[in-house]
Amino acid sequence: MVREKYLQQLALLKESVLSLGEISEKILHDSMDAVIALDVELARETLELEPKVERLEEQIEVTINDLLALQQPLAGDLRLVVSALKITADLKRIVGLSINIAKISLKIEGEHLKPLIDTRIMGDIAAEMLANSLKAFETQDPDLAKGTAARDDDVDKLFYVVWVELIEMMAKDPRVVSKATHLLFLIRCLERIADHCCNVCESVVYLSTAERVKLN
């Protein structure tokens, strides 16, 4: 009976982290849609999902505390607990950054300075990295984790391209500074989201191989 409860708690922990990942994906996706289209209603709906994230985070913390205090997991099970704790922290940061993206939709009046083509691509890559890092966690696939983290280079290159373009626009016309600053904040959020996806991938490699690696 004790062993059965222990296994149930481990399964619950993994399931809860994946549930947090699922809602993190939705918030990122909806935040990008909201900011690209300047859809205020979608932005507000996205902000309302934050309490659900907090409840899931609390559930994960309770499960981890119970496992550590009462079950004293070892080896691979302990790596799962440690990895789940770290992944939860990174997912919470991804949610926070995505929420910041949604809030940009509420601050920009009128239209964007320019079509957000490269910014949209950045968002698509970040969303793909998040989805694949969670899949790597679910399947404990270190190769998928490493391949996913490698996409961070693509995000960094696009970040630099858009950053230079926005800085040049502000230098030529100070009247666009406010809107350009919001877009600079947007691409910084996306760049940081990709970094946190790399952190998730590092946790997956540790979970799967007991090897600590730096992937970004």
- Report yes or no on 168 lying in a domain: yes
How far out from the chain centre does Cα 183 lie? 19
Give burial (CB, 10 Å; 0-12/13-18/19+) of 87. Answer: buried
Residue 89: the pLDDT is 96
- Report yes or no on 214 lying in a domain: no
**CATH number of residue 59's parent domain:** 1.20.58.220
Mean pLDDT split into 10-residue runs, the chain, 216 residues: 74 93 98 96 96 93 82 77 94 97 93 92 98 97 97 97 96 93 97 98 95 88
- Report yes or no on 143 lying in a domain: yes
CA distances from 147 to 28, 35, 58, 144, 215 (A): 21, 28, 31, 5, 10
Q: How far apart are CA 204 and CA 137, in angstroms?
A: 5
Our count of domains for the chain comes to 1
- Report yes or no on 215 lying in a domain: no
Residue 78: the pLDDT is 86
Task: Give the residue numbers spanning the domain of 161.
Answer: 2-209
At residue 36, the 3 state secondary structure works out as: helix
Residue 84: the pLDDT is 92
pTM: 0.94
Q: Which amino acid is at 190?
A: L
- Report yes or no on 87 lying in a domain: yes
